[in-house]
Structure 1
């Protein structure tokens, strides 16, 4: 009898692109709705409903136990469809603090200071299309852009509504991307009077804090200012996005990266191509973390510092992501940062039929990377269109004064003094009744039971969590590949935050390396009362699966497995 001590089960994560029998014992060949942190398997963050994107504070009928469906509905003059939302962002208001906003495909903008809806749509000039929105906050101004639309701008302190880009911006010009850099507003992918300049970079005069929208200067011919524009002639495909990186600004096309650096002379900026390939999949597919860019590329996911590039997905999950990515929905892809949990969610629409929300119009899966522990996992997404990070403003009910469970309310019962949370990952999901998603919602993406927001996981979005390892040969433990092994007992190191939480452990085997395992032993395990699992499973290649439907946070750090070598046939 040999004891197989599996430790640091969260140390390697999910690796889908290598043959399972080539993986170390503590790696997993598949998994969903889990993360790997500090050597442990944990439940991934869940979706906690903060508010509806098309309602203000809801009117609650305590007698009926329901919300008034017509309370403060989205103004019908501005659309009224809960599936119109396409983007969620945030800006810092000097009075209201950090404020979440939602942008629709018809040009409507709604902000939620204190979770109460406030329309901020320009009074004229809105257009309808499904191109990706981008947002920048520069010098106290909030700027929004998307292809086919004249950009919006708003002085956050003084303006109640966005306006069409003002100053000397030409009324017939549009831009695809709005960003900020060193006090300049940057526009990428410009269209001038109906003519596309897909590799043009356009910058404003430097902005003073809280400049009026009418004070923008964009005309490169005006020698009184340093506004300018540049067409990157050697860029072979259109600009898809750009983002500041330290003292430089990186411009991304489909397959190239260019650096834009402040020159301090009459040119204002210099441009040069970076010496490595990569590009970007879509707008909003890059985030800066610890002075590096993490990029959802066209064919790979990589990190760079402006000097060198390194894939973080190749040989691990790259092939699965890009082989199953729905290219017809490429413009829905984005990257979300969860700085609390040290996670990056690379969000996309997958073609995999086994996805929990298969066939949705927007993102139904995230390849989730823990950049602190260098591990990958996968998470179900409930038809998500975008994400931001913000300090959520929680309008709290007084718990003793309500007659129903606080979890029924649109506002939250929170222990944070002052009604605010630390910076949260926030996502916007679109309703799809065919997938059980009855309403669009702005969600806090937060750990269950131990998270920052004292709200329950939204049950419509909650899916089971599991990890699976197949093809365990035990050759590194000295057992020959041709030998039959029998698993007789397993002793997990695990716990739930909730004592009622249970795991399902399944053990199986196969005789050939690439053969689908036959699971012949299945047991329910409660860490609060059980300590071992007895079984009898034999084969040349062993497999096991740990799953749970429980909402509570859990941890699995290790497991002892008793194995006996029977024969060598």
Structure 2
């Protein structure tokens, strides 16, 4: 076997839940900041700071667009709500916190308790506690947020979501009494307005209440899917549908063993042409279409994910989608961290898993950004060889579908807007260990690696070949430098029973590994 080819080396992605020596040759056992897309291994594009410095540390962010086309990003801290937007080319941060007699009345929110929704163009943010009612905003920076109009006094909810022309409160507290199974919905709202009543006793309106007490698990969150609102409890998923008549809403239990881990752990995507929900549950990651579900990380990364979560910070876990690249990010605090510093990234077209470091992100959302954030070369602070922009052209991702990340470092980051990570060269690598080439008896001699790597000519990627006596022992590596645009082969003389291969960035900000060949000879047993 003089040459072993590894084509489409990004088509499988990382597999951590199975024995590494039994994986396909084009599977990887570890990676960081490498994206698997279209069969290739890309260094993840980075992020850059936008909108200047937030006025407060953002715990939650949500996009909103005014009737005049102004693109806002609302953000909430533990105590305040602000709007960030561009005015005359400059970033503006406007305080929207509710007031009484001209004085801010602070909120009492905690990380990953805020939820947000939009009903007919009206943005609504819910602090998710038992003290502060849902807040609405008029899309005018001259106006502050106010308590949701017509919302009943001394009433609070864990989450609030828009469904059709209704608002739905999930997990309700009334006058200090908690109703953890309650679903409370409004009457139908007029276009551009909030509902006129939430009174279930008013027979002339459609408002109502229903307790999902079956099973005893509490309501966590909800999100629309097709013609229904899917309600996520701790260990079950229910469908709420508008049926009209006296009941108004109908309820049906869909799944009895899967719920949602936290608020903001569900996102809508389209898989194989079907509208679906991606859900992080208490012990699994599933995708469902409202009738059937699939364990998308099973035999790939499910166990590895939950073993990497810091148990004290599990409640900080959340998800968001990056639709332009067909990705969902599971953001979590890894062991020893208290704020999400890592993401498992699942590509729902290619069905691959990758991992990337995250800049202490409290929350992130997908939405539209101001056109001026794309910028031109003259206004661009990144070095040319680390930038994704073309001469006077748009950034890599269309501005109608951008991911805004709210960092605990009091920054807003725009995802996939640069090759650098806020101006810093990231550490990126992809690694495969435990290669036996069909036999674990004989030793192997690796004489060269011939990769196909593209990027900026002159930049370098480090190629490493390692040996292992057992498939589980740590490799001993020999390193070589691959210069993009000139190197054809990385020559070496490395011998061992099991072989490991690793590619990591040297000076390259932006590189892609398509495939590679291994010049390997089988030797004797000893």
TM over 0.5: yes
1:329-382: CA deviations, max 9, x gaps? 12211111101111110111010xxxxxx63x3100100011111000111011
Q: What is the aligned partner in structure 1 of residue 46 from structure 2?
A: 46
Q: What is the aligned partner in structure 1 of residue 328 from structure 2?
A: 344
Q: CA deviation at 1:448?
A: 3.7
Distance 1:485 1:398 in 2: 52
Q: Does residue 160 of the first structure (1) align with residue 143 of the second (2)?
A: yes
Q: What is the aligned partner in structure 2 of residue 487 from structure 1?
A: 446
Distance 1:47 1:209 in 2: 37
Q: Does residue 378 of the first structure (1) align with residue 355 of the second (2)?
A: yes
Q: What is the aligned partner in structure 1 of residue 186 from structure 2?
A: 204
Q: CA deviation at 1:275?
A: 3.6
Distance 1:158 1:51 in 2: 16
Q: What are the within-5 Å matches in structure 2 for residues 260-279 of structure 1? A: 260-279=240-259
> 1:101 pairs with 54, 69, 74, which one?
74
Paired residues in the alignment total: 504
Q: What are the within-5 Å matches in structure 2 for residues 343-422 of structure 1? A: 343-351=327-335, 359=337, 361-395=338-372, 406-407=381-382, 415-416=393-394, 421-422=399-400
Distance 1:458 1:48 in 2: 5
1:461-484: CA deviations, max 9, x gaps? x53110010000111xxxx32111
Aligned to 1:51, what secondary structure does the other structure show? coil
Distance 1:414 1:393, change over 3 A: farther
Distance 1:35 1:253, change over 3 A: same
Mark the runs of 5 or more structure 2 residues left unpaired by the alignment: 384-388
TM-score (norm 1): 0.84
Distance 2:348 2:14 in 1: 14
Q: Is contact 1:111-1:119 (8 Å) kept? A: no
Q: CA deviation at 1:53?
A: 4.4
Which of 547-556 and 319-328 deviates more? 547-556
Q: Is contact 1:140-1:157 (8 Å) kept? A: no
Q: What is the aligned partner in structure 1 of residue 408 from structure 2?
A: 430
Q: Is contact 2:447-2:493 (8 Å) kept? A: yes
1:216-272: CA deviations, max 9, x gaps? 311111222111111112142221110111011111112110111111212111111
> 1:116 pairs with 65, 69, 92, which one?
92
Aligned to 2:463, what secondary structure does the other structure show? strand
Q: CA deviation at 1:157?
A: 6.6
Distance 2:119 2:470 in 1: 60
Aligned to 1:459, what secondary structure does the other structure show? coil
Q: CA RMSD in A?
A: 2.3
Q: What is the aligned partner in structure 1 of residue 386 from structure 2?
A: none
Q: Is contact 2:74-2:81 (8 Å) kept? A: no
Distance 1:385 1:414, change over 3 A: farther
Q: What is the aligned partner in structure 2 of residue 25 from structure 1?
A: 25
Q: CA deviation at 1:565?
A: 0.9
Q: Is contact 2:48-2:423 (8 Å) kept? A: no
Distance 1:231 1:126, change over 3 A: farther
Q: What are the within-5 Å matches in structure 2 for residues 109-508 of structure 1? A: 109-114=82-87, 115-124=91-100, 125-131=105-111, 132-145=113-126, 146-148=128-130, 149-156=132-139, 160-167=143-150, 169-211=151-193, 216-290=196-270, 291-351=275-335, 359=337, 361-395=338-372, 406-407=381-382, 415-416=393-394, 421-431=399-409, 440-446=410-416, 448=418, 457-459=421-423, 462-475=425-438, 480-496=439-455, 498-508=456-466
Distance 1:32 1:328, change over 3 A: same
Q: Is contact 1:108-1:126 (8 Å) kept? A: no
